[in-house]
């Protein structure tokens, strides 16, 4: 704990408080009050309570910062101060089906001089069931608790385990995904879809996964994970190879050697 900065402590305290409630609700998932936001896009009472808890805790610690919230939308703060990007429950469908694979994701995005938003300077992904706290700060590396994280050193696609998100009812581009899968799948050791992009990126930073691609996400799904991967020595881009602080519409992430190979395969697939 001593190595945590004051900012990371604020983020972890908020995540743990929200995570304690999520853990309790997960144990009684069959009793949750669930509404529907849209096709296959569920929002639970637990999700809403977690977001409110995170908002209250983070606002108390930094009262002049703004927010980008999955449920609550954008809340403006002092334009010269950073803002929080928050996903209170990444993996809602897993949660509601009793699958213990979900996370809280919090990122800090810095303002650009003259307006707009720039780099992500701090990130935290908390898995309540395993009590795992992944965190990163710009130029301070990526960590699981107090253990330094590094992306894997694998350089051959034939050895690589790749994570992705599969399009589902009302979400994603089936044709695009099928083309990419058809190009990458035959070359790699395996492809996994676990249903929580923040944890996919955290596991990539940890070296469990060797690469990740997905499209059609939101900033709160990937803002923290993008920084974790980069601070663990990995690369994150869109499908054209361009690098931005946050990638959500298109995400391709891996170590240096594999990113270039995956990008080549992906580009070839989408041109075909």
Q: What is the pLDDT of residues 212-264, one digit of tens each?
A: 999 999 999 999 999 999 999 999 999 999 999 999 999 999 999 999 999 99
| Maximum Cα–Cα distance across the chain | 52
Inter-helix orientation angle 45-61/6-26, to 10°? 160
Which residue stretches of the chain have pLDDT < 50?
1-2, 39-40
159 half-sphere exposure, CB direction, 13 A CA radius: 9
Distances (CA, A) of 60 to 19, 48, 55, 57, 168: 18, 18, 8, 5, 38
Q: Do domains 6-148 and 157-271 have the same CATH topology?
A: no
- What whole-number distance in Å separates Cα of residue 152 and Cα of residue 129? 25
Topology of domain 6-148, per CATH?
Fructose-1,6-Bisphosphatase; Chain A, domain 1 (3.30.540)
Q: What is the pTM of this model?
A: 0.94
Q: What was the pLDDT predicted at 40?
A: 47
DSSP state letter for 184: H
CATH number of the 157-271 domain = 3.40.190.80
Domain boundaries, the chain: 6-148, 157-271
Q: What was the pLDDT predicted at 38?
A: 56
Phi, psi of 114 (to 5 degrees): 90, -5
């Amino acid at each position: 704990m001593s190595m945590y900065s004051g900012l990371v402590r604020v983020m972890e305290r908020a995540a743990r408080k929200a995570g304690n409630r999520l853990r309790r609700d997960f144990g009684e998932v069959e009793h949750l009050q669930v509404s529907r936001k849209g096709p296959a896009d569920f929002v639970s009472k637990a999700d809403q309570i977690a977001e409110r808890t995170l908002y209250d805790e983070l606002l108390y610690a930094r009262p002049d910062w703004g927010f980008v919230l999955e449920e609550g939308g954008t809340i403006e703060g002092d334009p010269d101060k950073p803002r929080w990007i928050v996903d209170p429950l990444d993996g809602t469908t897993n949660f509601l089906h009793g699958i213990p694979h979900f996370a809280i994701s919090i990122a800090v995005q810095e303002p650009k001089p003259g307006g707009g938003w720039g780099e992500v300077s701090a990130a935290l992904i908390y898995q309540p069931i395993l009590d795992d706290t992944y965190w990163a700060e710009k130029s301070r590396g990526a960590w699981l608790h107090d253990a330094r994280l590094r992306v894997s050193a694998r350089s051959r696609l034939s050895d690589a385990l790749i994570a992705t998100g599969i399009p589902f009812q009302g979400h994603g581009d089936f044709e695009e995904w099928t083309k990419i899968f058809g190009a990458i799948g035959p070359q790699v050791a395996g492809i996994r879809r676990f249903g929580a992009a923040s944890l996919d990126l955290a596991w990539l930073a940890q070296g469990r996964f060797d690469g990740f691609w997905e499209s059609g996400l939101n900033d709160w799904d990937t803002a923290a994970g993008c920084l974790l991967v980069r601070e663990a020595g990995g690369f994150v881009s869109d499908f054209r190879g361009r690098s931005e602080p946050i990638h959500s519409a298109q995400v391709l992430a891996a170590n240096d050697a594999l990113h270039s190979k995956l990008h080549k395969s992906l580009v070839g697939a989408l041109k075909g």
